Amino acid sequence: MERELRGTLNDVNGFLSLIRPYCTGDKARFEISWTLRPGCFEKYGRLNYWMDLHSIADGEVVKFILNDLNAPQQIKNAFEQFTGPLCVGFGFATTGGWPVLRLYLHGRGRKAHERAGYYEAWRWDPHGTVKKHVYTFQFHSDITGSAVSGSIPAVFTDAFNKMTGNERFKQTSGYWIRKDAAGITDNIYLALPWMPPVGQLPGIDQVLNDLNIPDCFRRQVAEFPVRNFGYKIKNGTPEITIYTPGEIFGEIPDNEAELQYAVLKAANEANAYLELFADALQPGVTGNQSQPSFAQVSWDGFSK
């Protein structure tokens, strides 16, 4: 049986109209993503909104949003049963012509080997179909690069090795590994917390050539300040998705194009600031306490 989505929740603008009333603080964190497939550049149609959980009241807001999204009971139960969430994300995308909604639950394990971040990601559609994925983070220094690169589609292997061979990446960053409900890896994301322009990534020209991305789109892609660079692993059409978050102060735009502009502006400003310190960053370092924004950088948070 199909579930009725409230209001006009059939595109990103509808999702925005639902989320905006809940953005009551001095800032709100959104995340945009663009997808690259052979001969195809998809710029619009996907958006995530992230909120930190500091109090019981914040948890109640999550419940209100899930109600507004007409989330199935299984999704609501997932939030209730998740232990110690640090933040929650709500997402919208159009897949196969249908709106697909998402709930992301970010936590951190208590045991020593679980201290890095992890996510539960739930998605549902109007047909009532519910799917779950789990994201886990691993620093590059904790695993053998070949163990990851061996999963990358052959068309991307050379570029992947160039990106992960970069000294800054090797010393300070790592991978988000996404697995489906059966425990099969279907996506691997390079975490790039300093959010460099895509055009600065080693091997990116080869990726764009292999995907036959039209020249008219390449400048936009090259200037995108990327936080996570995702490789689709499962067999099928080669696919790359690039993500970036941005904190918006003041009034939230009411349409996708203006929101993307605001997020990109914030992400570029964050990149310019972080470049002042990025080469000195190491996992576990809290940073110069005279620079509070720097201290807030999360090396194993997908969106922060």
15-52 pLDDT per residue, tens: 999 999 999 889 999 999 999 999 999 999 999 999 99
On the question of pLDDT at 113 being above 70, the answer is no
The confidence band for 1, taking pLDDT boundaries of 50, 70 and 90, is very low
Structure tokens at 175: 């991978």
* Short-list 222, 267, 210, 223, CA closest to 244: 267
Is it the case that residue 290 has pLDDT exceeding 60? no
Instruction: Round to whole Å and give the CA distance between 278 and 285.
Output: 12
The Cα-based distances of 247 to 17, 29, 131, 241 in angstroms read 18, 4, 28, 20
Tokens of 41: 């550049």
Mean per-residue pLDDT for 2-10? Answer: 53
Binned at pLDDT 50, 70 and 90, residue 5 comes out as very low
pLDDT higher than 70, residue 299: no
If we measure between CA atoms, which residue out of 154, 300, 140 comes closest to residue 231?
154
Domain boundaries, the chain: 12-295
Considering the entire predicted model, what is its pTM? Answer: 0.88
